[in-house]
Amino acid sequence: MKDGMEYAEMLGLGVSSCDVVVKPARKRKRKDVKKQVIEKVNAETAAAEEKETAAAVTAAADTADSADALQETENADTANEKSIKKAKKKFKFDVVYAEGIAVFALVIAILLTNIFWENSGINTVFKNAFNTEKVVEDTRTYLSFNAQSPSSDLSVSVDAGVMTFSGKGSMYPVCDGKVSSVIEEDGKYTVTIEHSDLFTTVISGVDFVYADKGEEVFKYIPVCYLLDGSAKVYMYNGGALVTNYIVENGTIIWES
């Protein structure tokens, strides 16, 4: 610069001078990019964590609500199951109680029947069901019995094996036995008495009968009564009418 001024003076040129002050360039402050990046990442991470925390809290609340709802449902189901079990238990108890009452009533009925009605149907059923004794057949024929006339007070006649009694009075079995049937027809009764598996007696035309079916009868105890008219007596052996006998002094004599 100084050389330039000298050259101007040599040429006779007017020269003016000035001072130029060069201000040093301002040094820019360098931004800390790394720090900004870290802060940004931290901020985003914090926001994400807050979001996740909020989501977790919401999920936990939903889970709690679901658990409460499930618990309520389970409680309701448990209550229903208890109610059903209680109803079943009550029904079972009622059934058992009713069965117990029925059995008790049956036992009482059997006891009363045994006491007051020995030859009833229920007694017969129980005897047949629980009787383990072997049934022995009674094969005695009419010749094995000492028979008597059914009546010594009534007039009697014998025709072809049939005894006819007339008058008014009691009639007896010809010998001990059991009543197998009592039939009523037009106010008159027919009584069938079994003396063995083969020998039976039939008395028909009487007005009153003193024994029921299944009852045992004895030759010295009246079995029926003739009020008026006549009664007939038939004796059968193996289903065949017995005719070979006579009646004498109140006794039946077999003519073998």
Q: Are strands 155-159 and 224-226 parallel, antiparallel or unpaired?
A: unpaired
Give the tens place of pLDDT for each residue, 2-29. Answer: 555 565 556 555 555 555 555 555 555 5
- Average pLDDT estimate for 77-90: 64
Mean predicted confidence (pLDDT) in 53-78: 63
Q: What is the pTM of this model?
A: 0.48
Reply yes or no on whether the pLDDT at 138 is more than 70: yes
Predicted local confidence at residue 183, as pLDDT: 94
> In this predicted structure, what is the pLDDT of residue 152?
87
Per the model's pLDDT, the better-predicted residue between 207 and 73 turns out to be 207
Domains of the chain, by residue range, sit at 57-135, 142-254
For position 69, what pLDDT does the model report?
61
Q: Indicate if the pLDDT at residue 205 is higher than 90.
A: yes
Positive or negative torsion for Cα 60, 62, 66, 68:
positive
pLDDT at 93: 57
The predicted-structure confidence for 154-179, as pLDDT tens digits, reads as follows 999 999 999 999 999 999 999 999 99
Residues β-bridged to residue 189: 184, 206
| CATH annotation of 142-254 | 2.70.70.10
Residues whose CB falls within 8 Å of the CB of residue 199, separated by 6 or more in sequence, listed in order: 140, 141, 142, 144, 145, 235, 236, 237
- Burial string for 17-36 (b: 16+ CB within 10 Å, else e) reads eeeeeeeeeeeeeeeeeeee
Q: How far apart are the C-alpha atoms of 178 and 190, rounded to whole Å? A: 14
Residue 21's pLDDT is 56
100 pLDDT band, cuts 50/70/90, is: confident
* Predicted confidence (pLDDT) per residue in 111-136, tens digit: 776 666 666 666 666 666 666 566 78
**Phi, psi at residue 199, to the nearest 5°?**
-100, 120
> Is a pLDDT exceeding 80 seen at residue 229?
yes
Average pLDDT, the chain: 77
158 closest CA partner among 227, 233, 253: 233
Across 25-34, 108-117, 223-232, the highest mean pLDDT is recorded for 223-232
* 13-17, 84-88, 97-101, 105-109: least confidently modelled range: 13-17
